[in-house]
Chain A
Amino acid sequence: MGDSGKSSLQVEPSDEQATRFKMPVDSEQKATEFWLFSFAAPHMQAFHLSWFSFFCCFVSTFAAPPLLPLIRDNLNLTTTDIGNAGIASVSGAVFARLAMGTACDLVGPRLASASLILLTTPAVYCTSVINSASSYLLVRFFTGFSLASFVSTQFWMSSMFSPPKVGVANGIAGGWGNLGGGATQLIMPLVYELIHHIGGTRFTAWRIAFFIPGLMQTLSAIAVLALGQDLPNGNYRKLEKAGDKHKDSFGKVFYHAVTNYRAWILALTYGYCFGVELTIDNIVAEYFYDKFNVNLRTAGMIAASFGLANIVSRPGGGFLSDWISTGYGMRGRLWSLWVVQSIGGVLCIVLGLMHNLSAAIAVMLLFSFFVQAACGFTFGVVPFVSRRSLGLVSGMTGGGGNVGAVITQLIFFTGSRYSKETGITLMGVMILCCTLPISLIYFPQWGGMFCGPRADATAEDYYAAEWSDEEREKGYHSPSVKFAENSLREGGRRRRPSPTVPVEATPTHV
């Protein structure tokens, strides 16, 4: 009973020894290093497949805004129509991300993400034949569902990379995916101009342009299916068939996610880094165009640079989160998340107060770095909240991000109650307020922002508590145990010896 060492041996596949990985791995076969420019299967290959397919989803979701000057004339749209469609584009993913989290837990990230991406590409292709405000809203709504592939990206990285590297893997995958929101502001106008130059009329050229993001999505999803793999050892179905992986039940996964208060807090705070990022993606071009009288192309370039900062800012957040945890463990991750996101809030307040163009651009770039790094820091913490319900917790956090985008757009940027600059400043204040709950997150084995860990709490207890006694008897919780072993570093450098994994003792309930 509770002999985790023995049961994990029983669960490991017999051809385990024959599996050779190019990369060094831990006991869960997760990579302990991160080689950015390698395509080594399965770890780095999974990384490149997931970030690129997620990038394509962002390109499609935000493909319309840079072409709006054409679309709004072609379809006779009003500002209200455009605003509603902008909200619709980010609201679809709220529930899609939750569903995606569960799907990852149940069928694996490869099938879950590829299914979502392939099923949303029709909406992208159909954007070329819309002819009214309502059809415009519908295609943006359904295309926006593809943003749920964020969850599968994070889940996949958390399955492939060991805790010391999970922050940087999640950060780069998430950041380079979010990059699509900036890249599309450059790609779409370029494609449009090319087609227009070849000979289409204005109102046909933009329609043809939408086939590019559509094709990118289709091809990247097929690559995920053909080349990707859920876990280092294989795909879910094969492993479940061979009895190497226990097929979990939706009810249990759901229960352990929604009863974990940390998941809810992270969902809220993510709404005020990532949600704010999405809001800015939708409004910043117009803001600079109207307030500073720059032309549309300049406004588009400024808008693009906000998203392009993601190349380094979000990965930087993930990397710094991992680096801080070597010295200060989980408490360091939590503190740095709070500090970075709060600075982002302050910069947002300042941005709305800038009346000079170059100062506004400088503040905006600084703001983009901090707010996107905060996203990276958040997903340095998420993989540790739950092991059993990792997918759903990632989904809740991701969904919370989109809820934040919907709420901020509704409160501050719809109608004419606030001017855009006042809206931006008030949004900064809201960021500061909604970041405070991070101080309430507490891990018994590692501590929280203001409290140290409990002496008798262990990581193994924390993760094993998600499984009932019968399940533990059958050894279903062994991946959680291995994860706990590999997370010892989250205790930080402590004077007392780190708690060892008790092999003989009965696990205590936390």
Chain B
Amino acid sequence: MEGRRGGGETHSRSGEVVARMRALKATVNGSRRTARFGGRPCSDSHPDRYVSPVSCRFGRNGGRNTTLHSSTHHTFVQLTVKALLYAGVDQINVTWAINQSLPGATVSAYKKVKVSFCYAPASQADRGWRKTDDNLKKDKTCQFMITTQPYATAGSVAYTVERSIPTATFFVIAYVLDSEDAEVAYGQSTDAQKTTNLFDVVGITGRHASLGIAAACFSAFSVVALAFFFVVEKRKAMK
């Protein structure tokens, strides 16, 4: 995977790659989760661990039972080829929709939708600063926000991958937030094991030709200065 070439921010790709993402139906069995007060992560055996932690962490509901629903939409388009996106150039379209048929969804609490890039497991391996944690306060999976929009039953965004996004493998998560900015529902563009529908971003290198030239010049200057003083020393000693 070739990184950005030097010489300014020019890129070799022309045109845009548009990857249309659909929120996949997450494997939620919609059961009720018990809220625990005090931030202890819930150790339920539910396969999709995102469902439990928010209510466990905040205990906002004061011990009442809370259900966390995932926003879903029926899948009909899947990305079977890994898309390769160049930071600063390529665009990605994200669309999402709420599945209002799941029981118990407290739609009235939904205030905002936050869509983020999240690291896939391949980019989290041996990198503790990107670790996934059941406690969303400590969770570091999603570090780049694409957009935050007021809540609607469906939405989309066309996002040009920013130049600050590093080289890594990502997927997209859409969180639904309540009025206190707590996550109450979500949907992700990959399956529960985070193996399908991932895409790669090629980040900028940050290198410029001018940097290389400056480094070479200063290095040469240092060595030449040393040689100069050596020669002067020798001449003085010979006098």
Contacts and interface: CB of A to CB of B under 8 A. Distances in A.
Interface string A181-215: 00000000000000000000111101110010011
A129 B222 contact: no
Interface stretch (A75-83, A307-315, A381-389, A401-409): A75-83
B164 A125 contact: no
Contact of A129 (B3, B126, B163, B207): B207
A207 B211 contact: yes
A485 B212 CA distance: 55
Interface in A337-392: none
Contacts of A121: 218-219, 222
11 contacts: A115-B226, A122-B223, A126-B219, A128-B211, A128-B215, A131-B3, A131-B207, A203-B163, A214-B218, A221-B225, A237-B236
B233 interface: yes
Chain B residues touching A, range? 35 or more
Contacts of A69: 129
B135 to A, nearest CB: 11
B166 A201 contact: no
Interface string B221-239: 1110110011001101100
A222 interface: yes
A203 B204 contact: yes
Nearest to A130: B207
A411 to B, nearest CB: 20
Interface residues of A, number: 42
Task: Determine which residue in A73, A80, A111 has the highest number of CB atoms from chain B within 10 A of its CB, and name it.
Answer: A73
A121 B221 CA distance: 10
A237 B167 contact: no
Contacts of B207: 128-129, 131, 204, 207
B205 A74 contact: yes
A131 B215 CA distance: 14
A473 interface: no
Interface in A214-228: 214-215, 218, 221-222, 225-226
A238 interface: yes
B166 A74 contact: yes
Closest 9 CB pairs of A and B: A203-B206, A122-B219, A73-B166, A78-B126, A125-B215, A118-B226, A204-B206, A121-B222, A225-B229
Given A118-B223, A203-B204, A207-B211, A218 B218 contact: yes
Contacts of B212: 129
A298 to B, nearest CB: 15
A16 B13 CA distance: 74
Contacts of A235: 233
A213 to B, nearest CB: 12
A218 B228 CA distance: 14
Nearest to B9: A201
Nearest to B216: A125
A440 interface: no
Task: Determine which residue in B167, B204, B237 has the highest number of CB atoms from chain A within 10 A of its CB, and name it.
Answer: B237
B225 A222 contact: yes
A207 B230 CA distance: 31
